Amino acid sequence: MKRRILSKEYFPGIPKIPYEGPDSKNPLAFKHYNPDEIVEGKTMKEHFRFSVVYWHTIRGTGSDMFGSGAWLRPWEDGTNSMEMAATRAGVLFEFCTKLGAPFYAFHDRDVAPESRNLRETNRNLDRMVKVLKDYQRETGVQLLWGTACLFAHPRYMHGAATSCNADVFAYAAAQVKKAIEITHELGGAGYVFWGGREGYTTLLNTDMKRELDHLAAFLHMAVEHKKRIGFKGQFYIEPKPKEPTKHQYDSDAAACLNFLRQYGLLEHFKLNLETNHATLANHTMQHELEVAGAAGALGSIDANMGDLMLGWDTDQFPTDIYLTTQIMLTILKYGGFTTGGVNFDAKCRRESFEPVDLFYAHIAGMDAFARGLKIAAAIRHDGRLAEFVKNRYRSWDVGIGKQIESGKVGFAELEEYALKLGEVKGLESGRQEFLENLINEFI
């Protein structure tokens, strides 16, 4: 296979995207994302660790339940050959370089075609890893995380680690073993487990307890293999409540944390939270981030947004500044990303079919996050919001509150206290509308 080190241009006429500032009218320039600008002691580049996904940006076709692929991708030859796989790698690295995205993320099957058997498929992967490694070296673009596609092939129709069929579990284990190894080989900062079909469509045919035990055993094997090969990247679970299954076991952040804790896995995993998954679970993204952050498990985010009028996983690019502000307020509160980053698990609309739309979409997402960061930093610098919250809980800093928090009193002492108290006095307004208006001052 011929290696093409950025020798061919797949996005002709599109330059390296510059930062031109808020007054620019150039659609191929950043108005807010300035990689070198320092916010709260770190550059924007360091804050976000933006990542481009292989599956939507390179492998997406614009197909949906009602129609086949619709996107113009002049470099595609209609096959899934190894030649084509190498070409797509060139497309990805040119895209990341021109966009200025320092990271990318992939499923094993995104980068190399599945072959007649596992041995040949793994050989394809090994050949592609060499290509990817060369591109990484040449461009400086790094792997944020790798993962295995355990949901597309028909063998995974009943799940992978939670399949009713033990051979499927074994096959999935072999696939994940290899996916972790190639992620390690490529210097990946992390590895994600998204349980695409780890759930059920009907409880009539499902032994839930047995399936959960199997999932835990699977993850313990992964942890053990990680140690064996010396992979230092972070393991993440990515919650999602449904789609493609009716119910997915990793339904939300709280369910994941409970599962990890129950099976003794918590120290080995953090969460990779995705906005549209949060909303499918009837949560806000900020809720999911708070749940993970409070448990010390806030790892990384899959950045996108859904559509309230549709209600399924539309994976739209995140352009809502209220959303990015809330996300960045919480990310900053918990100290920012270490191994994780802002991974655009997002796709263009079917109607946005031209290659240039990929740039417009990512620029829109990056600018929305940059604005969210600047707004969140301004709110934090102003201090009124944090002061309000701190003040709201001030009864816990003294007297009986302090005694409760420090574990010095129990029900008996509190009964004695309440009997003396009479009625509770001094309740204060929650001031929601006042606070919403305060936030609007900064938007």
Given candidates 345, 348, 358, 370, which one binds ligand XUL under the rule CB under 6 A?
A: 345
Of 86, 71, 97, residue with least CA distance to 11: 97
Cα 26 to Cα 18, 107, 356, 362, distances in angstroms? 10, 34, 13, 15
Catalytic residue among 110, 250, 313, 345: 110
User: Is the CB of 184 or the CB of 240 nearer to ligand XUL?
Assistant: 240
Binding site partner of 288, from ligand XUL, Co ion, none, Cβ cut-off 5-8 A by kind:
none
Per CB under 6 A, does 194 bind ligand XUL?
A: yes
Calpha distance 328→86 (Å, rounded) = 36
d(CA 216, CA 50): 31
Burial of 267 (0-12, 13-18, 19+ CB in 10 A): exposed
Over its C-alpha atoms, the chain yields an Rg (Å, rounded) of: 24
- For the CB of residue 431, give the shortest distance to ligand XUL in the complex, in Å: 36
Residue type, 249: Y
Q: How far apart are CB 313 and ligand XUL at their closest, in Å?
A: 5
Return the residue of 108, 110, 345, 367 that touches Co ion, per CB under 5 A: 345
DSSP output for 81-105? -HHHHHHHHHHHHHHHHHHT--EEE
- The span from the CA of 271 to the CA of 281, in Å, is 15
Catalytic residue among 107, 283, 287, 362: 107
- CA-nearest of 100, 122, 98 to 111 is 122
Q: Where in 270-299 is the site for Co ion (CB under 5 A)?
A: 274
CB-based burial label for 378 (10 Å; 0-12, 13-18, 19+): middle
Please indicate whether residue 345 is annotated as part of the active site.
no
Question: Binding of ligand XUL at residue 110 (CB under 6 A)?
Answer: no
Nearer to Co ion, 250 or 345 (CB): 345
One character per residue 278-317, x = contact with ligand XUL (rule: CB under 6 A): ------------------------x----------x----
Residue of 181, 238, 250, 288 that binds ligand XUL (CB under 6 A):
238
By CB under 5 A, tell whether 110 contacts Co ion: no
CB of 216 to ligand XUL, least distance (A): 19
CB 298 within 8 A of CB 270: yes
Binding mask 10-39 for ligand XUL (x = CB under 6 A): ------------------------------
Specify whether 250 is catalytic: no
- Least distance from C-beta 194 to Co ion, angstroms? 6
CA distance 217 to 384: 48
- Residue 55 or 317: the one with the smaller Cβ distance to ligand XUL is 55
Per CB under 6 A, 240 contacts ligand XUL: yes
CB 222 within 8 A of CB 235: yes
CA distance 271 to 31: 31
Query: What residues does 103 pair with on adjacent strands?
Result: 51, 142
CB of 312 to ligand XUL, least distance (A): 10
Q: Applying CB under 6 A, does 54 fall inside the site for ligand XUL?
A: no
* Least distance from ligand XUL to the Cβ atom of residue 400, Å: 46
Q: Any idea of the CA torsion for 191, 315, 27, 145, to the nearest 10 degrees?
A: 0
Region of 23-31, 222-230, 301-309, 384-392 interacting with Co ion (CB under 5 A):
301-309
Q: Which residue in the block uniquely carries the two structure tokens 């493609």? A: 244
Catalytic residues: 107, 110
Residues of the shown chain interacting with Co ion in the complex, contacts defined by CB under 5 A? 274, 302, 345
Residues of the shown chain interacting with ligand XUL in the complex, contacts defined by CB under 6 A? 55, 107, 147, 192, 194, 238, 240, 274, 302, 313, 345
